[in-house]
Amino acid sequence: MTGDTKFDLWYLFALAGAVLLGAVLPVLPTGAAVSAGAVLASHSNSNPIGLVGVLIAGAAGAYVGDLIVYAGCRFGGERLAKRVGWLRNNGSLDSLRMRLGEHEIGVLLTSRLIPGGRVPVLLAAGLAGYKWERFAIVDLAASSLWAAVYMAIGLLGYALFDEPWQGVLAAIVLVILTTVVSGMVQRARRKRSHAE
């Protein structure tokens, strides 16, 4: 194993910034960034911050990004949703609002973990007038859980391979597989619910 991997405080700031940007513009692979950070931190023997820093940076970037997106959904959500085309199916949004009202904490926690699930839930919460304070508390837990899950994927990549680049590649492949399998499960559930 190599212990000379460059990993320092600047990497953590870059990681937090990348995750924040990916949370606001959900096209960047933020989970893969956290997983790669976990691999690099594990290979670095000289850094005292290590994995705790990756967890904090990932969770902080996700949390601040979620707050920004929620603010946008809360204050301009309906107009934005219509412009982007998210409100073509009001039935889905109403169903999401009902689930949020019945199981708010569970829905907010799992929406962060399901690929593509976060923005519709934030939109539904914003349009439903979900309280800021409550959202901020629940999303802190959701962002931390999300960062821990993707960090664990990175640690799996670290455990499987000796070289950092191999661990990073394995972590990215694991994230992609997780995303694909999750998407397939969601589609199967939707088909089953539509059939019923």
The pLDDT of residue 196 is 63
Task: For residue range 64-94, list pLDDT tens digits in order.
Answer: 999 998 888 888 766 666 665 555 556 666 6
Tokens representing residue 176 in the block: 């992609």
Q: Which domain holds residue 85?
A: 9-191
Does residue 2 sit within a domain? no
Residue 196 DSSP SS3: coil
Task: For residue range 143-191, list pLDDT tens digits in order.
Answer: 999 999 888 888 887 777 676 666 667 666 766 676 666 666 666 766 7
Question: What would you measure as the largest C-alpha separation in the chain, in angstroms?
Answer: 57
Does residue 26 sit within a domain? yes
Task: For residue range 24-65, list pLDDT tens digits in order.
Answer: 887 777 888 888 888 888 777 655 578 889 999 999 999 999
The number of helices, as runs of H, and strands, as runs of E, in the chain is 8, 0
Cross-strand pairs, 88: none
The full DSSP string for 32-96 is: HHHHHHHHHHHHBSS-SSHHHHHHHHHHHHHHHHHHHHHHHHHHHHHHHHHHHTGGG-HHHHHHH
- Asked whether 122 and 71 are in contact (CB, 8 A), the reply is no
Q: How many domains does the chain have?
A: 1
Does residue 196 sit within a domain? no
Question: How far apart, in whole angstroms, are the C-alpha atoms of residue 1 and residue 113?
Answer: 31
